[in-house]
Amino acid sequence: MSDTAPHDNAIAKGTPFATKTLMPLMNTPFAPGTHLQAIEAMAPGSQRDIAQAEYYYFSSQPEQALAAAAPYLDSPDVTARLSACLICAYANLPLGQAHEAKALLDQMNAILAKASERSPQLGAASAFASATAAVLLHLPLPQELPDAGALLPLLPRGLRTFALYVQAHLLYLKGEYAISAGIVEATLLMGATAYPIPAIYLRLVAVMDYMSLKNVDKAREHLLAAWELARPDDLIEPFGEHHGLLGGMLESVIKPKWPGDFKRIIDITYLFSAGWRRVHNPVTGDEVADDLTTTEFATAMLATRGWANQEIADHLGVSINTVKRHLAHAMDKLGVKSRKGLQRYMLR
């Protein structure tokens, strides 16, 4: 592993970042199926190494992601260190290492507290990493986080695109589904699809929004668009991360046509969700359920969002009795007697 030279640590005037090590693969436009060429075109050393670690993570290879990113956790290049913290924090979740993940999140927040004193650009880099980590884990945002209007112009285009996903996800968590979907649609119209990783995440939050708005056709459209972007490079991890929020769309759309990929996604979901809850639940005091099957969870999520049993059955392609059975099992496991009782155990 070779690191950046000392001068890479400086922030050049007039450019967003003098280093190119803040999530470089996320920040790179490439055609679907060409991630390897995109990585190989990067400068050897930290930029290429971190891009490879990103790919390992987004293709659901957490052990390899951790091995590739960990050497940069003490890098003198702060943006390389932030990238390594973010990748390693999330890679630790499916590996059952929640304590390590939480320590890395705390490290990012500590960098954020000091970064803006060095330069606005470095402050933006730190804010991007900290906000991304917090929102995806549904944790409170760091107090030091700048306003999005001040943050976005300081980010390069690919990271700005992902930051808009983070903003849309945050609005989803606040129940502002139409506004969130509007941000996604506008960002996609402005060329976000050139950046496959941010575009996949944007499409998935649109699925979440449209399912909450009961616009199943639009949700399906965005899910299939995300899947078309992801499959050529096997960028499958985001689907497992978002499963519980997608309102049964993976069961409805992906499972019938791509059963092998669907099984992989479910395996990812179980591992990621277990780690996610070990960080999320203690910090927030929420009790998001950890002992339901993915089908029970998806059914319960739809039920708590106001979907009738017949609507759920039609959406999932199962009988109404199957829906009733899934809901009964979920309620029994959680010790509740009504749909309202399920709400405290569901994702927001």
- Compute the distance between CA of residue 8 and CA of residue 18 in angstroms, rounded to an integer: 6
Q: Is the pLDDT of residue 307 over 70?
A: yes
What pLDDT sits at residue 253?
95
Name the pLDDT band for 283 (thresholds 50, 70, 90). low
Average pLDDT over residues 113-119: 76
Model pLDDT for residues 157-213, shown as the tens digit of each residue: 999 999 999 999 999 989 999 999 999 999 999 999 999 999 999 999 999 999 999
Instruction: Label each residue of the chain as H, E or C.
Output: CCCCCHHHHCCCCCCCCCCCCCCCCCCCCCCCCCHHHHHHCCCCCHHHHHHHHHHHHHCCCHHHHHHHHHHHCCCCCHHHHHHHHHHHHHHHCCCCCHHHHHHHHHHHHHHHHHHHHHCHHHHHHHHHHHHHHHHHCCCCCCCCCCCHHHHHHHCCHHHHHHHHHHHHHHHHHCCCHHHHHHHHHHHHHCCHHHCHHHHHHHHHHHHHHHHHCCCHHHHHHHHHHHHHHHHHHCCCHHHHHHHHHCCCHHHHHHHHHCHHHHHHHHHHHHHHHHHHHHHHHHHHCCCCCCCCCHHHHHHHHHHHCCCCHHHHHHHHCCCHHHHHHHHHHHHHHHCCCCHHHHHHHCCC
Q: What is the CA radius of gyration of the chain?
A: 20
pLDDT tier, 12 (very low <50, low <70, confident <90, very high otherwise): very low
The answer to whether 347 and 244 have CB atoms below 8 angstroms apart is yes
Tokens 């669907």 sit at which residue? 262
Is residue 263 pLDDT above 50, yes or no? yes
- Over 90: is that where the pLDDT of 301 sits? no
The pLDDT of residue 114 is 82
Would you say the C-alpha torsion 20, 21, 27, 31 has a positive or negative sign?
positive
What is the pLDDT averaged over residues 103-115? 88
Closest by CA to 198, choosing from 18, 25, 21, 16, is 25
